[in-house]
Amino acid sequence: MNYFCGFGLMKRSLLLLVLGVVQCDSLPDGIPDHEVAAQWADMTLHITKDTPANSPTFASRCLGYIGLTQYEAVVHGFPEYQSLVGQLSGLEELPLPEANARYSWPMVLNRAESEILASIYIQTSDQNKKKIDSLEKRIYAILKKSTDQATAERSNAFGTALARAIFEWSTTDGGHRGYLNNFDTDFKKEPFPGSWKPPLFAQSFSHHPLHPYWGENRPFAPQNKNLPLPDFISYDPKEGSSYYDQFLKVYEKERQLTQEEKELAIWWSDDPDVTFSPGGHLYYLANAMVRKNQPTLIHSAQTFARVGMAVADAFINCWKWKYHFFSERPNTFIPQFIDQKWESFWPDPPFPAFPSGHAIQAGAAATVLISLYDNKTAIIDSAHVGRERDHVRNTEFVAQSFDSIWQIALETADSRFFGGIHTPQDNQVGLEQGSIIANNIVILAWKK
């Protein structure tokens, strides 16, 4: 295990390293272990944001495999921990390091992350692939200063073999290259009272819903395969019914949104065409936790593995339930039964409502982060700082501050209510189910 001092003196060089502009003669003498993991998270988010046709569903899947690769790349260097082989769905075997041989575990992670990222995002641009390669070479050059040639070659070979094995396993989950068929034009579902309808005020031009069969994909945790259906308030459009009141709350909130609530609504919009997607936003905050706490290499890698797999499994189950209930959104119910001229503050995404995808993945990510860090950790979310203001809604992108990890989940869910695209039921069930899904990741036998 490599630990390095003098990090304060290296901050500028490490920043330039992430940006890919460090010259060979200005490389720092070392890099903290947690920073190797964090810089690959940075690159993952860049590729996620900068690759076309990258839906929230497909991005969540990628984060799961990329995060898992971090963990499996270093786990054999920490005797108290163990691989997840035999514990995850269908993962029966992975390459093993040579017995009694020396490895640089940060170097293994560096090679493995480069390999899995370029493989799982094979559709990304050649320029992005060059950026991946450039980051790998620069981190390798730093680590090589304290590593002998034989160890470096052995570490790189193991990282390559490991990432290729994980990628091959990923191709059998049902979501491989899912970006090729984001909107299935053959999907048909007979309409019924309260069913989802393509809205006029929408984020997408498509009148076909996103990835209707995503819920059939293989989850990471076997326990997340056959979860029971969550409770859903039965359709009843009569004024005063529980169903009607859900939409009335959305309608009343939209009419009295504060500026702070508007800022929260657009902050968590996470449109995958211009951001690193909803799942990427949570991966970003996981990276912020790593940099704030500067944990060991295994703890850092475990952070990305838990968050990535929890978010991926949350999206699978969320999409399974969305297409089971196929429930309408406020933009169709409210104009029909409450106010004909109403429209939401934020446009509808192209898929059914219940449960909220933002809420379920935020509940999942927050739950696994709390299993690794103090819930009362204060954190600032700067994910969208610098973005041009939303001129349509006359609202700035303002950094968000949280006093606890769970507050992240609550405000993520609230943002969809403020945006007018989810009812309280959608969000509450999303948070609850996200936590259940995440706990099935947490209870895996990470330690011997």
End-to-end CA distance of the chain: 19
97 and 157 together in one domain: yes
In a domain, 2, yes or no: no
318 vs 311: CA distance, rounded Å = 10
Q: Is the dihedral of CA 420, 425, 428, 432 positive or negative?
A: negative
**Domain residues for 39?**
7-170
Read off the amino acid at residue 217: N
The answer to whether the beta carbons of residues 89 and 183 sit under 8 Å apart is: no
Q: What is the reported pLDDT for 234?
A: 97
Q: Is residue 187 part of a domain?
A: no
Q: Are residues 210 and 114 in the same domain?
A: no
Triad 265, 269, 272: Cα angle to 5°:
175
Of 137, 170, 203, at which residue does a domain stop? Answer: 170
State whether 325 and 388 are in the same domain.
yes
What pLDDT, on a 0 to 100 scale, did the predictor assign at position 412? 98
* 3 state DSSP class of 2: coil
Q: What is the pLDDT of residue 250?
A: 98
Q: Is 107 left (phi over 0), alpha (psi -120 to 50) or beta?
A: alpha
Q: Which residues contact 415 (CB under 8 A, 6 or more apart)?
A: 264, 265, 267, 268, 269, 358
pLDDT at 4: 28
**What's the pLDDT score for residue 28?**
83
Residues of the chain with pLDDT under 70: 1-26, 201-202, 204-205
Q: Print burial letters for 318-348: b (CB count within 10 Å at least 16), e (below 16).
A: bbbbbbebbbbbbbbbbbebbeeebbbbbbb
In a domain, 65, yes or no: yes
Domain-embedded: residue 178: no
Do 385 and 293 lie in one domain? The reply is: yes
State how far the Cα of 314 lies from the Cα of 322, in Å rounded to an integer: 12
Same domain, 33 and 112: yes
| pLDDT, position 207 | 79
**Do 287 and 351 reside in the same domain of the chain?**
yes
Query: In terms of domains, do 282 and 336 share one?
Result: yes
pLDDT of residue 22: 42
Distance in angstroms (rounded) separating the CA atoms of residues 305 and 372: 12
Could you tell me if residue 182 is inside a domain? Answer: no
In a domain, 448, yes or no: no
How many domains does the chain contain in total?
2
> Does a structural domain hold residue 155?
yes
Q: At what angle do helices 297-325 and 357-370 cross, to 10 degrees?
A: 150
* Same domain assignment for residues 430 and 359: yes
Q: What pLDDT, on a 0 to 100 scale, did the predictor assign at position 272? A: 86
Residue pLDDT, tens place only, 241-263: 999 999 999 999 999 999 999 99
Instruction: Report yes or no on 30 lying in a domain.
Output: yes
Instruction: Report CA-CA distances (Å) from 323 to 99, 180, 396, 415.
Output: 48, 20, 34, 22
- Together in a domain, 166 and 202: no
Angle between helices 405-418 and 277-293 (to 10 degrees): 150
Residues 57, 142 within the same domain: yes
- What is the CATH classification number for the domain harbouring 78? 1.10.606.20
Residues 241 and 324 in one domain: yes
Name the DSSP letter for residue 24: G
Same domain, 159 and 301: no
Nearest to 359 by CA among 270, 422, 303, 420: 422
Q: What is the DSSP letter of 196?
A: -
SS3 350: coil
| Dist. CA 391–CA 190, nearest whole Å | 38
CB burial of residue 192 (10 Å; 0-12, 13-18, 19+): exposed
